[in-house]
Amino acid sequence: MSGANKRVVRPNLGSTLRPRGKAPRKHFLTVAVTKAEQQAILTHCLQNKISISQFLADLVLEDAAKPPLNAKQKVLVKTKLHLAQSEYEKLALLARLHKKEISDLILELLMPNLDLERPHAPLETLALRCYLSKAEHDVVTRHIARKGFSAANYVAMLAVKAVSRPKKRQ
């Protein structure tokens, strides 16, 4: 089959459609995802029999409905670092000299760069869309603007996080 004759896959085939809104959904958000992220989102939507637009819209509307978190609230981040033995020894020595735990020293070294870095990168992406009514669009765009991120990347982050969550057993 050539690209033009390729069968279209509808993720929501055989499922109920998104409830009809009070107003038409003429507004949309563009979501920038990589090819691998698009495939993971499509697989998730096929398994759950929902459209990609419905999945993305539900995610961002649910996020906008949550009460704002305390910006000072701490989140525990666990990571693995692969260092050469000499690099680890130097890090341990620096932590000892500064009278800090290694994790505190790494955080102290990371924060100035994190504060300066803008969440944009030359990532090769595809565009997905989620359709919203004017009221939904206004709520979502205000919510994302308060976060200080681009809508395309913020919604993509929510989607990647949602599809990578372990499945709940029924």
pLDDT higher than 50, residue 158? yes
Q: Which residues have CB under 8 Å from 49's CB, separation 6+?
A: 11, 12, 13, 14, 15
pLDDT over 60 at 45, yes or no: yes
Question: In this predicted structure, what is the pLDDT of residue 170?
Answer: 43
Place of tokens 């990647």: 160
Q: What pLDDT was estimated at residue 121? A: 59
67-80 pLDDT per residue, tens: 877 667 777 888 88
Confidence of residue 43 (pLDDT cuts 50, 70, 90): very high
pLDDT band at 51, cuts 50/70/90? confident
Instruction: Tell me what pLDDT residue 150 has.
Output: 85
Query: What are the DSSP calls for 62-110, one per residue?
Result: HHHHSPPPPTT------------HHHHHHHHHHHHHTT--HHHHHHHHH
pLDDT at residue 129 tops 50: yes
pTM: 0.66
User: How does pLDDT run across 92-116, given as a tens digit for each residue?
Assistant: 999 999 899 998 898 888 888 776 6
